[in-house]
Chains A and B, each alone.
Chain A
Amino acid sequence: MRYLTRRGGMFLVTLWAALTVNFIIPRLMPGNEAQSVLATFRNINPAAVKALEIQFGVNVHHSLIPSYFSYLGHTLTGHLGVDAQNVPVASEIFSKLPWTLGLVGVTTVLAFIVGTLAGIFSAWRRGGRLDAILPPTLFIVSTLPVFFVGLLLIYAFAIKTHVFPLSGNYTIGATPSFSLSFVGDVLDHAFLPGLSLLIVTAGLWVYSMRNNMITTIADDHVKMGRAKGLSGLRVMFDYAARNAILPNLTGFAMQLGYVLGGSIVIEYLFSYPGLGYLFYTATTDHDLPLMQGLFLFYTLAVLICVLLVDLLTAVLDPRTREA
C-alpha cells in the first residue's frame, strides 16, 4: 500500500535527521570547551575517547564525510558507545526504561481516553454554563507549562501536606518485588508525577476532541444518522466520533514527543529515576554519548508511535487506503 510505504519513508527520513542532528550538534561547540568536556570523561577505553574526539571535531585527522558515515554505521548497529562513567549507553537506557515507560505510558493512554470521551460528551451536550466555562479552562490548563503544574502539586500535596511522597520511585531501602506493598509504594510515588502529566495532556485532548466533534456534528452524515432514526448514542459514536477522532489520532503520536519532554522535567522535579532524570544528569555532566543515545531513543519512540497510529488510521479510515 502506497500509504504505508510513504509513512515508512518518513520514518526513515526522520530517523536520519535525528542522527544527523546528533552528529552536528557537538561540532558546534567551541573548540576549547570541547576539550574541557572531554577531559571530564573518566574514560578508560581509548577507542571510545577517539570516537568522541571525532564527534566533537577535536583532534580530528579524518575529514567530515567519512566520520559522518562511520558514526551512522556505528549507531545503526546499536553501538551507542559508553557514557562518562564507562557504562554502555544502551544498557543504561534499558535499565531505566521501565520506570519511565510505566509513568508516561499509563498517563498518556489514560489522558487520551479520558480526554477524548470528555470531549465527545462535552460537544454533544452544548449550551449552558458548563459549555462556556469548561473548554477555555481546559485549554488554559493544557497550555500551562508542565513544571508549573508539577510545582503546584508538589507544594500542595508533598510539602504543605504530606499526602504523597516528595521524590523517588519507591521508598529508599525497600526491596523491589511484585508484592502488593511494594507495588502500592511504587504507585504512591508515581501518583503526583503521573497526575502532573495527566492534567496537562488530558486538557489538550478534551479541547481538540470537542472542537473536532462540533465541526463533525454539523456534517450532513450525522444529520443523516439522526434522520434514519438511530439512537442518539449510536449517532454520537458511530457517525460523529468515528470521524472526529481521525485527526486526533495523528495528534496523539505527535503529542508523545511533548509528553516525553515533559517527563524529563517532571522526573527532575520529583527525582524520579527514569529516563528523564537520566537525561537531566547527563546534561549537567555534559555526557554526550548518553545524551545522544537518549535523544535517539526518544525520537525512535515517537516515530514508532507515529507509524502505529498511521496503521490504525489506515484501518479506521478507508479513504487513506486509496491515497
Chain B
Amino acid sequence: MAIQSATTAPATGMPPEPTGGSRFRGMLRTLLGNRKAAAGIVILLIVAFVAIFPGLIAHDSPSESSYLPNLTPSGSHLLGTTNLGQDVFAQLIYGTRPTLVLTLVVSVIATFISTVVGITAAYLGGIADRVLTVITDVFLVLPVLPLLILMASFLAPGTTSLILVLTVTSWAFQARQLRSQGLSIRNRDFLVSARVRGESAVYIIFREIVPTMTSLLAASFLGLAVFVVGFAASLQFLGLGNSGQEMWGTILYNAQQSAALESGNAWWELAPGLAVAFLGTGFALVNFAFDEIGNPALKPMKRRKRRVRASA
C-alpha cells in the first residue's frame, strides 16, 4: 500500500502546455525572462522595423546609380557605393524586406509540411509511419547545398523557384523531432477520448495534438529560419536564385563578382554578410532559449562554493 502524492508526473518528452490564451502570455513571459531570448527578439524587431520602414532609415533609393562608383564609406554614403554608383547602405536597407519575407514564407511552409508529416507519421503508425519516415530520412541525407544548386540551376529563375527549392530541402529538418514528440503523447488520455468520440484523424491531429506542441513548433520554426537565411544567401552568393528582387544575397553576389574585397571596397561585400549573420543570430538566440525552456538543465548554473560546516 503506497502513499499517494498530490501530483502525477508527465510522461517522457516535453511537459504538455496549458491551453488557452494564457499559454501564449506565459510563453512570452518565460521568453522575455531569458536574456538570450530577449537579445534575439530585439534583433528580430530591429530587422522587422527596417523591413517595414526602409524609407525612414535610408535616404537614397537603392537603384539610383548616379553616384560616383566604388566610393569608400563616408558621411553621405555610410557603406560606400557599388561599382555602378549605387548606394550600398540603401541597397542593404531596402533589401531587408524581400529577404525577411522570403525567410518567413519558406519557414512557415516548411514548418507546416514538417508538422503534418511528423505528427501524421506518429499518429497513424504502422506502414504510413514507415513510409513517411523513410521519405523524411531520404531528404535529410541528401546533401543540401548541392541539391539546392542543382534545382536552382534548372528551374525558371525567380522568387517562386527559390521558395520551392528552399522548402524542399528544409522541411525534413525538424520532422523527426516532431514525430518523436507526437509519439510520446500519442496515448495520452485526451487523445484516447477523442478517438473514442469518433473524431477524424485530421481533427485529432490539428485540433488536439498540435496545440500541445506550441513551443516545439516555435523552436522548429526558428531553427528553420536560421537555416533558410544562411542557405538563401549562400545560394544567391553563388549566383543562383537572383531575380529582380534585390536581396542581401544579391548584393553579396554583385560585390563578389566585382572583387569588392580586393579592390578596396570591402564594406560592399562585408556589410550584407554581416546583415545575414545578424538576422541568423537573432533567430538562433531565440531558438537557443527555447532549447533551454524545454530542458531547463541546460541553463547556465550558479556555482556556489561548497560551504559545508560540520557541526556537532
Contact = CB atoms under 8 A, between A and B. Distances in A.
A26 B152 CA distance: 10
B146 A294 contact: yes
Name A's interface SS: helix
Report, as a range, how many residues of chain B touch the other chain: 35 or more
Interface stretch (B61-69, B107-115, B196-204, B280-288): B280-288
B297 to A, nearest CB: 6
A283 B297 contact: no
Interface string B136-154: 0110111111111111011
A25 interface: yes
Report, as a range, how many residues of chain A touch the other chain: 35 or more
Contact of A148 (B145, B273, B301, B303): B273
Contacts of A106: none
Interface string A101-119: 0000000000000000000
Given A128-B303, A140-B284, A143-B230, A257 B143 contact: yes
B191 to A, nearest CB: 27
Nearest to B280: A143
A261 B144 contact: yes
Most chain B CB neighbours (cut-off 10 Å) among A25, A139, A147, A214: A147
Interface stretch (A12-20, A91-99, A223-231, A313-321): A12-20
Interface string A256-272: 11101110110011000
A268 B149 CA distance: 13
Contacts of B142: 14, 17-18, 21, 257, 299, 302
Contact of B151 (A10, A14, A25, A261): A25
Contact of B141 (A21, A33, A279, A306): A306
B146 A151 contact: no
B261 A14 contact: no
A57 B238 CA distance: 27
Nearest to B151: A25
Contacts of B270: 151-152, 155
A183 interface: no
A269 B239 CA distance: 13
A184 to B, nearest CB: 25
A295 B152 CA distance: 13
B10 interface: no
Nearest to B240: A283
A265 B146 contact: no
A279 B273 contact: no
B163 to A, nearest CB: 15
B36 A136 contact: yes
B105 to A, nearest CB: 19
Given A279-B146, A280-B238, A143 B301 contact: no
Contact of B288 (A30, A136, A214): A136
A49 interface: no
Contact of B239 (A154, A284, A299): A284
Given A29-B154, A261-B145, A126 B303 contact: yes
Nearest to A256: B143
28 contacts: A13-B134, A13-B138, A14-B142, A25-B154, A136-B36, A136-B288, A140-B285, A143-B281, A144-B277, A145-B230, A145-B233, A148-B274, A159-B266, A214-B298, A215-B297, A254-B140, A257-B142, A258-B143, A260-B146, A261-B143, A264-B146, A264-B238, A265-B145, A283-B239, A291-B150, A298-B146, A299-B142, A302-B143
Given A17-B138, A17-B142, A159-B261, 11 more contacts: A28-B155, A143-B284, A145-B233, A145-B276, A155-B270, A166-B262, A258-B145, A265-B145, A265-B238, A283-B149, A295-B150
